[in-house]
């Protein structure tokens, strides 16, 4: 047997051996998904003689892409460097850098992040004389672009008011934002995929060329793809697809980012000839943890059947703690962490960021070092963004947003009123803000500071195309007195360390990737915030993070806290059954992060919006059979079986229906109960969909 297969289980081997045609790999949590994909790519190269330049692997983070490529280089040698391993957005940037002019992009286009978007939206709102904040409009942009539905389709379903203004006015904000974006030679993150689709659909000859470069396509985390990523995958795969998608519907938790679970559920409808392979052997968690996980997730109707099977024997029981209030819950976590020791292998997971405060307070009070995930990302820090803004303007002088950012950073005597006069001139003359700066002598009575700044920019523009990224940043620091200005600030030492870290990041990139300043900026723009350096956290520290941030990670010990109605499931998810099922998947993801030890906890009282409220245990705790949970006391006393099951929510599930029961309806046939509240149940019928039924009239027959 090939050494590529000898260490794999039979299901993994089947996936690796698959050659041509579409395939769906349903990969459960901890089932060796990445290992399987890596071995499959290596198998294509070594055993099937596929050129590495014909293989595309799409991942959801740059970190995952880098790790995959490193493993392949170790397995098959330097030729693996020719593989195309990238995120959707990184792949789109690569394509648009070559063919972007076909869809009206300038060669040096820059990619705007959230801060840049907010700044541009503020300008648009000011231009329209609207007293509104940019947040709701950025959310509108994200929804329109992530779903690929267009403005008119969005407006049909949108509320009458967006961000405090009529939706017709919001539509004008959208149009002006897009126009301003293009005039500044910029795109936002979401535009990257839409423009690539526009390119492929409008220029079939370009699509043919890209398909030749992507004959064998792998898409990881397919359950998290949104409608635009789905369309892009379909276009790349073509009519004779060698497409392998890997994912798990039970871990689809990004609906708020427009991820559509139906993309993976309907894969065999899109490709009826597709091979389906299930990876069910779990190498991560102990048997008691997997028993709880399986019991929870089987209650969902929107899923592909699978049962995680442990490869580890034994294991501690899953512990349940019922706290009188949220403070006592946090105190319990701190006491147990101290008792367990070995802080690095412990994670505390919660539904909302607001829950972190009490936990951090009690852990620090107990002398436990803490690593809080989700703080300000490295590339979001002010001094780092300032230096990157210099680079963006040097590459693309039309970028008015970043030009405004650096015009008086460090201070050089160019105030807001001066910039305002130049901006008014630019608007009336129909020129860019940079061109207005160049004409400062015609506009200002005291143009010298602006003209000196323009002279500096012209020097930096030359350096942008002649120097390496590190040399460019060193030139900026030297020419502007940037370091000296930071030293005068109260937290200047810390900010200077961040500047040095940026230089290190650029130096590392030059060694590993190499290329121009523009390519380095692409790399920075595509780096997900969760992957960025999180500061000087102790090596031995307890990790605090939301359940969404925990996806893809694993820890020997996990505390899953706040298991209450209106927290998990969240209050915003209770009106739609699809949202409720996603909340159950979020709980399942949290459970399956644990390798050896799992604690579940809830509080009977919690402060919400400044008011103390009595809470109810999460309905998801009812999905777990009593014998699988061991209730512990406030000081971690020896576990004992719970004296009674968790209290049921008000309006208890009717007539014994809890969700998961198989039933038959006289019209719709056999289905699965998804939820039951009051006098109604909701049932998923295959081929029909979700139906909400009144029990007294439905005529449902229980099948088990």
* String of DSSP letters for 43-56: HHHHTS---GGGEE
Q: Which of 12, 13, 33, 661 is catalytic?
A: 33
List Cα–Cα distances, 450 to 412, 419, 460, 477, in angstroms. Answer: 9, 9, 15, 19
- The annotation status of 34 as a binding-site residue, yes or no, is yes
Q: Give me 297's structure tokens.
A: 């997730």
Q: Give me 460's structure tokens.
A: 């930096």
> How many angstroms separate the CA atoms of 702 and 704, rounded?
6
- The annotation status of 573 as a binding-site residue, yes or no, is no
* String of DSSP letters for 662-702: EEEETTTEEEEEEEEETTEEEEEETTTEEEEEEHHHH--EE
- The annotation status of 29 as a binding-site residue, yes or no, is yes
> Is 34 annotated in the active site?
yes
- The annotation status of 53 as a binding-site residue, yes or no, is no
Report, in angstroms and rounded to the nearest whole number, the Rg of the chain calculated over CA atoms: 28
Strands (DSSP E) contained in 302-450 are: 309-310, 318-323, 346-350, 370-372
Other residues' Cβ atoms within 10 Å of the Cβ of residue 350: 23
> How many angstroms separate the CA atoms of 647 and 649, rounded?
7
Check if the beta carbon of residue 314 is closer than 8 Å to that of residue 287: yes
> Is 221 annotated in the active site?
yes
- Backbone angle region of 185, left / alpha / beta, with phi > 0 → left and psi within -120 to 50 → alpha: left
* Omega before 569 within 30 of 0, i.e. cis: yes
Cross-strand partners of 218: 57, 244
Q: Which of 116, 188, 191, 220 is catalytic?
A: 220
> Is 593 annotated in the active site?
yes
Q: Which of 87, 223, 251, 475 is catalytic?
A: 251
Rounded to 10 deg, the angle between the 382-395 and 517-525 helix axes is 130
Q: Give me 311's structure tokens.
A: 């490869």
Q: Give me 496's structure tokens.
A: 């200077």
Cross-strand partners of 611: 608
Check if the beta carbon of residue 634 is closer than 8 Å to that of residue 596: no
- Half-sphere exposure (Cβ direction) of 220: Cα atoms closer than 13 Å: 24
Distance, C-alpha 298 to centroid of its chain: 25
Q: Dihedral angle at the C-alpha atoms of 460, 464, 466, 468, nearest 10 degrees?
A: 120
Q: Which of 34, 61, 178, 311 is catalytic?
A: 34
Beta strands 542-546; 370-372: pairing state: parallel
- The annotation status of 7 as a binding-site residue, yes or no, is no
Q: Which of 215, 593, 606, 619 is catalytic?
A: 593
Check if the beta carbon of residue 661 is closer than 8 Å to that of residue 702: yes
> How many angstroms separate the CA atoms of 232 and 194, rounded?
9
Secondary structure of residue 275 in the 3-state scheme: strand
> Is 251 annotated in the active site?
yes
- The annotation status of 659 as a binding-site residue, yes or no, is no
Q: Give me 634's structure tokens.
A: 């406030």
Secondary structure of residue 573 in the 3-state scheme: helix
Q: Which of 142, 188, 191, 221 is catalytic?
A: 221
Listed in sequence order, the residues at least 6 apart from 691 whose beta carbon sits closer than 8 Å to its beta carbon are 665, 668, 671, 682, 683, 685
Annotated binding site: 27-34
| Binding site members for ATP | 27-34
For the annotated catalytic residues, the residue numbers are 33-34, 220-221, 251, 593
């Amino acid at each position: 047997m090939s050494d590529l297969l000898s260490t794999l289980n039979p299901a993994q081997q089947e996936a690796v051996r698959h050659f041509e045609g579409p395939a769906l790999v349903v990969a459960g949590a901890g089932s060796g998904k990445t290992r399987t994909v890596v071995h499959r790519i290596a198998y294509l190269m070594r055993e099937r003689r596929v050129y590495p330049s014909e293989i595309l692997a799409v991942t959801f983070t740059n970190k995952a892409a880098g790790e995959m490529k490193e493993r392949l280089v170790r397995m098959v040698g330097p030729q693996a460097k020719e593989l195309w391993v990238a995120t959707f957005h990184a792949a789109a940037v690569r394509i648009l850098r070559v063919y972007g002019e076909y869809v009206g992009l300038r060669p040096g286009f820059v990619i705007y992040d959230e801060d840049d978007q907010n700044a541009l939206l503020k300008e648009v709102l000011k231009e329209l004389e609207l007293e509104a904040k940019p947040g709701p409009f950025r959310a509108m942009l994200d929804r329109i672009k992530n779903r690929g539905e267009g403005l008119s389709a969005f407006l049909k379903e949108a509320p009458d008011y967006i961000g405090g203004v009529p939706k017709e006015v919001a539509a004008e904000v959208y149009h002006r934002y897009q126009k301003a974006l293009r005039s500044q030679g910029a795109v936002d993150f979401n535009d990257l995929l839409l423009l690539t689709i526009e390119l492929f659909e409008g220029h079939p000859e370009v699509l043919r060329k890209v398909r030749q470069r992507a004959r064998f396509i792998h898409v990881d985390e397919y359950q998290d793809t949104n409608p635009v990523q789905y369309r892009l995958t379909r276009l790349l795969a073509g009519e004779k697809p060698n497409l392998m998608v890997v994912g798990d519907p039970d871990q689809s938790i990004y609906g708020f980012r427009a991820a559509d679970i139906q993309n993976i559920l309907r894969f065999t409808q899109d490709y009826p000839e597709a091979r389906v392979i299930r990876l069910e052997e779990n190498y991560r968690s102990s048997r008691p943890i997997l028993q709880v996980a399986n019991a929870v997730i089987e209650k969902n109707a929107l899923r592909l059947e699978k049962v995680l099977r442990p490869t580890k024997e034994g294991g501690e029981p899953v512990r349940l703690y019922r706290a009188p209030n949220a403070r006592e819950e946090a105190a319990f976590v701190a006491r147990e962490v101290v008792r367990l020791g070995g802080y690095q292998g412990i994670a505390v997971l919660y539904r909302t960021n607001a829950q972190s405060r009490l936990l951090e307070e009690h852990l620090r009070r107990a002398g436990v070092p803490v690593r809080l995930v989700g703080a300000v990302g490295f590339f979001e820090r002010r001094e780092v963004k300032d230096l990157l803004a210099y680079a963006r303007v040097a590459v693309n002088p039309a970028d008015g947003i970043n030009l405004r950012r650096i015009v008086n950073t460090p201070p050089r005597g160019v105030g807001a009123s001066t910039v305002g006069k130049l901006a008014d001139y630019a608007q009336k003359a129909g020129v860019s803000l940079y061109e207005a700066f160049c004409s400062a002598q015609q506009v200002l009575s005291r143009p010298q500071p602006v003209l000196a700044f323009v002279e500096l920019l012209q020097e930096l523009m030359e350096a942008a195309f002649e120097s390496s990224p590190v040399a460019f940043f060193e030139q900026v620091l030297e020419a502007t007195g940037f370091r000296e200005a930071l030293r005068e600030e109260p937290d200047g030492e810390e900010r200077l360390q961040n500047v040095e870290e940026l230089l290190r990041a650029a130096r590392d990139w030059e060694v590993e990737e190499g290329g121009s300043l523009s390519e380095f900026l692409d790399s920075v723009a595509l780096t997900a915030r969760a992957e960025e350096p999180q500061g000087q956290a102790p090596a031995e520290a307890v990790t605090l993070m939301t359940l969404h941030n925990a996806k893809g990670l694993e820890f020997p010990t996990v505390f899953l806290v706040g298991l209450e109605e209106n927290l998990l499931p969240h209050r915003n998810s209770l009106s739609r059954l699809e949202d409720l099922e996603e909340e159950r998947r979020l709980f399942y993801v949290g459970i399956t992060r644990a390798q050896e030890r799992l604690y579940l906890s809830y509080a009977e009282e919690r402060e919400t919006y400044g008011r103390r409220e009595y809470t109810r245990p999460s309905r998801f705790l009812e999905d777990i059979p009593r014998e699988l949970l061991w209730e512990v006391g406030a000081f971690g006393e020896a576990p004992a079986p719970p004296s009674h099951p968790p209290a049921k929510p008000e309006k208890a599930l009717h007539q014994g229906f809890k969700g998961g029961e198989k039933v038959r309806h006289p019209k719709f046939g056999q289905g699965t109960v998804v939820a039951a509240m009051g006098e109604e149940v909701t049932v998923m019928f295959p081929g029909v969909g979700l139906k909400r039924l009144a029990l007294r009239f439905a005529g449902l027959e229980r099948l088990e």
